[in-house]
Amino acid sequence: MSNPGTDLHLDWFSGIRINTPAVERRAATLPTRRSLKKDHQAAWLLNAVRCIDLTTLAGDDTPDRVARLCAKARQPIAADLLEAVGVTGLTTGAVCVYPTMVAPAKRALGNSGIPVASVATGFPAGLMPLELRLAEIRYAVDQGADEIDIVITRAHVLQGNWTALYDELRAMREACGAARMKAILATGDLKSLENVAKASHVAMQAGSDWIKTSTGKEGVNATLPVSLVMVRTIRDHHARTGIKVGFKPAGGLRTARDAISWQVLMAEELGRDWLAPDLFRIGASSLLGDIERQISHHVTGRYAAAHRQAIA
């Protein structure tokens, strides 16, 4: 279900104060809180695969490259490995591309049921006039995008102009139409955890279906402390409204260990509902290679040579 949003309620977050050392201590415990071995570890890793937004956002993207990415999205783990662990029908959560690559992605995915997500609004900086950013959203939707990953104006956050941020996001939400919206906060640019928390609240009040850490292009992308702050704002918003908003860490998740750490965060802070792709996505591509390597080790007892793992 899409997030309908609410009016802007500054009082929901104006008094937020965050104990940064306490957040960092809590985040540091997450990778050590669960010892997952053998079948249990494999199950968590396969769950991470179904939550990945398999992404290509390169200046030299072509329809052929996107088609290869889509083939990997449809068969992210080698068929013999999935057969060995008794899993069928596994795909990634979505494919994420630029607006001009949406139509090729839709063609390549066919009737697979895998959504196509498109970045928009002048990704990654977002420093374009609002009307042009809205036009880019509409173009991506017209091309068939099922989800839109928008970027916010960081200056609104840095200046504490929450009304301007809300109005911008509401306009973007309207432009998305039936497509679901992920609001990229570019947390590495926001300077403080308080700003991250406040921007998260505004994004959810404005109707974002997911809040997302990063474009992957900032100097600092997804970190566990920032993610902890964001998921707690999701919990607060759900307690106030009953609306479940999703979360997407992006940039910096590269290893199977990372995939498990962020899932532990979701399970412990938000519950099992947030371990499904309608509420949890991981923005990554290189991560998938390490997960497949670990699944291969689980099945065969040895690590596969790199050339045995198909890449997009």
Which residue is catalytic, options 198, 212, 258, 290? 212
Which residue is catalytic, options 53, 106, 146, 149? 149
Q: How far apart are CA 257 and CA 24, in angstroms?
A: 18
- Closest CA relative to residue 51, chosen from 36, 19, 73, 83: 73
60 is catalytic: no
212 is catalytic: yes
Q: How far apart are CA 23 and CA 269, in angstroms?
A: 13
Which residue is catalytic, options 106, 182, 198, 248? 248
Q: How far apart are CA 241 and CA 269, in angstroms?
A: 17
Tokens encoding 104: 């090729």
Q: How far apart are CA 68 and CA 74, in angstroms?
A: 10
Q: How far apart are CA 54 and CA 76, in angstroms?
A: 9
149 is catalytic: yes
Tokens encoding 34: 């669960």
Per-residue DSSP letter, 302: S
Could you give the residue numbers annotated as active site?
149, 212, 248
